[in-house]
Amino acid sequence: MDPAVFCYIGPAVALLGLLLCFPNQPRPARWLGTAIAAIGLAITTFGALRLFGLPILPSAVVPAALLAVWLAGRMITHRNPVYAAIYFGGVVLCSAVLVLVPGAHFLAAILVIVYAGAILVAYIFVIMLAQQAQPVDYDVNVRQPVFAVIAGLGLIVAVLRALMLSPYAVAREAAGSGGSVVSAAGSAAASQAISADNNVVSLGSVLFGQYPVSVEVAGVFLLIAMVGAIVLAGMRINKQQQA
């Protein structure tokens, strides 16, 4: 059977399961949806591994990728915003592992420190500030789930289709010259990135050697955002504006 078929059926099944997992569904439907989503994820993984020949990857990549997708699904379907934030922290840690594999050490570190450390904690602070004591209807009810899931399916299938047309679809032309050339170049670049003695030093020299103006602009940007956040959060509200 053509592995491309799995890459179309799998996301459709997984997103059907996601539809049943949304927080407006009763508990049995959510369990069923979880099972269906797991089956869809397994079909997609099988198809992608057949189509793109990925089993030669480092062993951490596929489990981390599957865990990231699973945690992201839990995040968008959980009723409690605090749990959603925690699951997002898990997604960030998984993507830090994935970023570490090609040798981007500095990026992995700032993903954990800045994303999971700073941004996520800011979110959790605001959730605790604004959280209601009991479950509220805007955490349970959803809007337009079917259309949203169809939009998501369209995005995923479009990217998978584009990849199938690229030279990376190795299963189609197992001995094809185009595919092997590109993949050889890719693996050579990856091994070079891993063997680069210090990713942090070279990234710093590129950042401050080639893009000093952009670094300064980014700093000013962060300063403006900080001032804006302080001004926004500290605005006075008079009584008649308060509904």
According to DSSP, residue 239 is labeled G
Instruction: Among 5, 35, 60, 222, indicate the residue that binds another protein (CB under 8 A).
Output: 222
139 near another protein, rule: CB under 8 A: yes
- Residues 96/47, Cβ–Cβ less than 8 Å: no
Instruction: Among 9, 101, 109, 112, indicate the residue that binds another protein (CB under 8 A).
Output: 101
Size of the site for another protein (CB under 8 A): 102
- Residues 109/76, Cβ–Cβ less than 8 Å: no
DSSP letters, 67-96, are HHHHHHHHHHH-S-HHHHHHHHHHHHHHHH
For the beta carbon of residue 43, count every other beta carbon within 10 angstroms: 20
144 near another protein, rule: CB under 8 A: yes
> Least distance in Å: CB of 176 to another protein?
13
Residue list 40-79, contact with another protein (CB under 8 A): 48, 52-54, 56-57, 61-62, 65, 68-69, 72-73, 75-76
86 near another protein, rule: CB under 8 A: no
Give the chain's count of helices (H) and strands (E): 11, 0
Q: Closest CB to another protein among 1 and 162?
A: 162
CA distance readout (Å), 82 to 85, 87, 88, 132, 230 = 5, 9, 10, 11, 24
116 near another protein, rule: CB under 8 A: no
3 near another protein, rule: CB under 8 A: no
Instruction: Among 18, 20, 43, 97, indicate the residue that binds another protein (CB under 8 A).
Output: 18
Q: Which residues contact 182 (CB under 8 A, 6 or more apart)?
A: 167, 168
Instruction: Among 165, 175, 213, 243, indicate the residue that binds another protein (CB under 8 A).
Output: 243
Residue list 163-192, contact with another protein (CB under 8 A): 163, 168, 170, 182-183, 185-190, 192
> Least distance in Å: CB of 39 to another protein?
16
Task: Round to whole Å and give the CA distance between 83 and 232.
Answer: 27
> Least distance in Å: CB of 22 to another protein?
6
Backbone angles phi, psi at 230, to 5 degrees: -65, -45
81 near another protein, rule: CB under 8 A: yes
32 near another protein, rule: CB under 8 A: no
* CA 153 remoteness from chain centre: 15
